[in-house]
Amino acid sequence: MRIFLVTLSAFFLLAACQGSPEKGESAATEQSNADPEKLLYNLGSFVSYSEVCTEFRGSGADNKIILAFTQKFAGDPEFDRGYARFSNYTGWDIVSGLTECDRVREALEEYYDAMKATIG
């Protein structure tokens, strides 16, 4: 688990340098991505955002990736808090401003590959 969080930390650090699903996060917020709790919060946010992208644009991460993360981390308070960030968007008729779907999908695919390689 520790190896996965270190690997995940590196991916989130790269993602923070390129922006986040929600524009306008401060540099302090981006730097806090190295904290394991913040990593799980961000992972939950990415998973939830990707589900919204799937529903409204058809360009979210593969269902097996979403399922792997939700099964592995559901119940973790920080993951659940991050997941709740976009969960209220599902079920709407339309959502606008989904500009980061492809980037988030690619990031989740990388995180999934890293998780499979480090913890099976």
Q: Is residue 28 part of a domain?
A: no
Q: What is the pLDDT of residues 66-84, one digit of tens each?
A: 999 999 999 999 999 999 9
Q: Is residue 24 part of a domain?
A: no
Number of domains in the chain: 1
Domain hosting 58: range is: 2-14+35-119
pTM of the entire predicted model:
0.67
Q: Is residue 30 part of a domain?
A: no
Mapped onto helix, strand or coil, the DSSP state of residue 1 is coil
Q: Which of 27, 25, 1, 3 is nearest to 79 (CA)?
A: 1
Q: Is residue 10 part of a domain?
A: yes
Q: What is the DSSP string of 13-62?
A: HHHHHT--SSTT--HHHHHGGGSHHHHHHHHHHHHHHHHHHHHHHS-S--
What is the pLDDT at residue 21?
A: 54
Q: Is residue 22 part of a domain?
A: no
Q: Is residue 102 part of a domain?
A: yes
Q: Is residue 29 part of a domain?
A: no
Q: Is residue 25 part of a domain?
A: no
Q: Are 48 and 84 in contact (CB under 8 A)?
A: yes
Location of structure tokens 């799937």: 54
Q: What is the pLDDT of residues 11-63, one digit of tens each?
A: 443 344 333 455 444 433 454 446 888 999 999 999 999 999 998 888 899 99
